[in-house]
Structure 1
Amino acid sequence: MLNTELTELMQQSAKDAVSYARDEHQVELDLTLESLPLVDVLLSSIFHQQQKQRMSDAHMFALCNIFGAYLGQVFISVVGGEWVHQTADESAPYVSLNYNNKEFPLASLVYHKVTKNPDLSVKEYISQAISNAMQ
């Protein structure tokens, strides 16, 4: 996949997260740092929904990827970065955000929050990542 194709895919995925938040949770996201507390609440809500009725693996995969893309696009809007298709382990490829030789596997962050730790803060993670990137 060409880098421009991957960038377009991740931008569209972030827009899909905005649509999902609005349509399924009545939450308006705007791809800003200020929206990250809303993302935290929404993802915690998904965790609690999961406890009552487990989502399919495909649905969970899609949610983690679109919200990982959303977080990455917020990061990119503040400091920059690029999406990279990681294929070092051919049996488990993934997409990460890379900036200044640092890798941010944001879909994994979202997965951890919605399946294991609803108290994990994506807002704090992104804020710390941006702070580290600007040093």
Structure 2
Amino acid sequence: MQLQQLSELMQDAAKDAVRYAAEQHQITLDNSLASLVQVDTILSELHQHELAQQHSPEMIFTLCSIFGAYIGEVFIAHSGGQWQQNNVDSKAPFIYVQHHDKEFPFASTCYYKITQDNSVSLKNYVKQAMANAMQ
């Protein structure tokens, strides 16, 4: 996939996250750094639901992809960088934001928060990623 196509795909996925947040959680995401608090709220609710009744693997993949895209788009807008795809393992390719020599797999962090550790803060993760990107 060309970088332009990948970028457009991720922008569209980020828009899906905005729609999902509005329709399913009545939360408005405005592409600001402050909106990452609301993303944490949504992912915390998804974590609680996951504990009570597991989501399907497809649903988890989709939610992590769209919220990873949203977070990545916020990061790119404020710090720069570009979307990249790692195809080293053809059975498990992944998409991440690359900023200089640093890689930020935002969807993976969403997955970890939803399925493993609700204490993870995406807002804090992005704040740290932005600091690391500037080093």
- For normalisation by structure 1, the TM-score amounts to 0.97
Query: Hey, what does 1:104 align to over in structure 2?
Result: 104
Give 1:65 deviation, angstroms: 0.3
Structure 1: which 5+ residue stretches go unaligned?
Answer: none
Q: 2: distance between equivalents of 1:27 and 1:10?
A: 20
Alignment of structure 1 residues 66-105 onto 2, 5 Å: 66-105=66-105
**Residue 119 of structure 1 pairs with residue 116 of structure 2:** no
Q: 2: distance between equivalents of 1:41 and 1:119?
A: 11
Q: Deviations over 1:62-119 (max 9, x none)?
A: 0000000011000000011111110111221111110011111111000000000111
Q: Deviations over 1:45-74 (max 9, x none)?
A: 100011112111111100000000011000
Aligned residues: 135
Query: Hey, what does 1:128 align to over in structure 2?
Result: 128
What value does the CA root-mean-square deviation take over the aligned residues?
Answer: 0.8
| AA matched with 1:39 | V
| AA matched with 2:91 | S
Q: 1: distance between equivalents of 2:119 and 2:44?
A: 7
Query: Hey, what does 1:53 align to over in structure 2?
Result: 53
Give 1:14 deviation, angstroms: 0.5
- For normalisation by structure 2, the TM-score amounts to 0.97
SS of residue paired to 1:118:
coil
Q: 2: distance between equivalents of 1:122 and 1:34?
A: 11
Structure 2: which 5+ residue stretches go unaligned?
Answer: none
SS of residue paired to 2:31:
coil
Query: Hey, what does 1:34 align to over in structure 2?
Result: 34
Farther off after superposition, 59-68 or 87-96: 87-96
| AA matched with 1:22 | A
| AA matched with 2:116 | K
Q: 1: distance between equivalents of 2:81 and 2:105?
A: 13
| AA matched with 1:101 | D
